[in-house]
Structure 1
Amino acid sequence: TWLVIQFRGQVAWVTAQYVSIFDPGNLQLALPIVAAPATPTPSATTVQAEPDIIITNVTLAPSSPIPTNVLFSATITLKNQGGSAAGTFAVATTFLPGNIYSAQNLPAGLGAGQTTTVVLSTTFGATGNVNNLAIVADLNNEVAEGAVGETNNIFNISYKVDRAVQTEQVRNYAAAANDDLSGNGTQDISWDGTNLTAINGALIGLFSSDNYATAHYDGAVATATSTVFANPPAGATIAFRSDDGRYGVIRIDGRSGTQINFTYRIYIP
């Protein structure tokens, strides 16, 4: 049971278990029964929606394989998928090979639901195969994106930088043969039915991890240091330097007895 009382000019409620009633005239029987007021409905607290910057797409130009000594651009599409505007922020990456830093600031920020593009550019001097290079939106954590928004600012890209190819051909030797892969009139490779040998100053060497698709010019320069590759298996990827100093890559496509067939490319010096 609850009792309603007047306390300091206001209505208050107190439970009867804490009240002692002195009523020798039994006047409490004449007291009215007061209905308790309805439980108030709590009002919702308005939470300000946070911005959320993401990268939705990256377009490479030229596309992979990217030639050296040519202006390269990565066009990055950004979106604010959050519920409020984002202020100033930066987008950046460090391009490989060469550790080339590139960044763009967006001083006007990005409104809620809006999309924009920025371009990061560079010129590569070295070659290499690049996997999962991170492009970062909101590089300096200038935008308060909340717990979820701070975890989705990275977009990974993969590509290869390589020199232009002068020639790409296929060879099939049924038995022992000498050949001129570089096409300069001097034989530079010999097959004896078992071993592949570089001749007349040419060099070869086995790539330890690259395949024909990922092998590149600088890797061939570093790998072509031997003259003999004994019993090359199908699937092997071989670096090659011609007798006149041009580099290339050979892929052994098949072996059967003394027969061998392979695909190769020679780079423009």
Structure 2
Amino acid sequence: MTRTVYVNGEYLPETEAKVSIFDRGFLFADGVYEVTSVLNGKLIDFAGHAKRLDRSLTELEMKRPISTEDLLEVHRELVSRNGLTEGLIYLQITRGAPGDRDFAFPPEETEPTVVLFTQAMPGLEASPKAKTGLKIVSVEDLRWGRRDIKTVQLLYPSLGKMAAKKAGCDDAWMVEDGVVTEGTSNNAYIVTKAGTIVTRQLSNDILHGITRAAVLRFAREAQMKVEERPFTIAEAQDAAEAFVTSASAFVMPVVEIDGAPVGGGMVGPIATRLREIYLEEMHKAAI
């Protein structure tokens, strides 16, 4: 079935959707994005994604081309038109297409480009990896310094994914100054042998994950101890558990890092319980 997508105010068949070759997202990666999960035809944590979108636009001095209310309506319309029950909605906003290439920002009257499309992912919630866990490799973090802005500058994370694939693993954790920043498309965590959940504190060094915020809130409500600080690969390998969080993976356990098993190579109880809590709460709050 041909998908219906959204481009600059129009719903179009994906085969008819077009963006200018002068679009700054294409030429300069001058754009931001969000990915919202859909379960049972409903949006997961839409408000959190909309709030982070506002922050990204503000940090890049990019004007907001569509209100949160209208954006919600577009998301719901795409779910309806594409019959999406389980999957993702991708949203991208760029600084627009001024009609030529110039490093300087375009004139104020240049309208941003707004694109949304769906990705059907049957089995998203029941991913078998939640039972078997992920295998991780570490790579040097060579990204730019403003990782807190969710930009479309994703070449290096893509290279990290490919490094993991070549090593026969599922994903990569990026390391800077001897400590883990985050995964290529997720936030990274360990669970110490004393049962403390450890994840890097918020800063410009990592993405302020929407799923991260929810999971840490649920962990604290469940009386789990949380510590926000950096950790090393060696500490992660020696931990009782490890896991990642993201909008599309929810809470996903990690059972191996750079060839060393974590927690005996078995999925641990804390990651398992956090995934259960997260999905239970998100189903309740889905819109």
Q: Please, what TM-score do these two structures have when normalized by structure 2?
A: 0.24
From the CA coordinates, give the structure whose radius of gyration is larger.
Answer: 1
Would you tell me which structure has more strand in proportion to its own residues? 1
Higher relative contact order, structure no. (Cα contacts within 8 Å, ≥ 6 residues apart) = 2
Greater helix fraction, Structure 1 or Structure 2 = 2
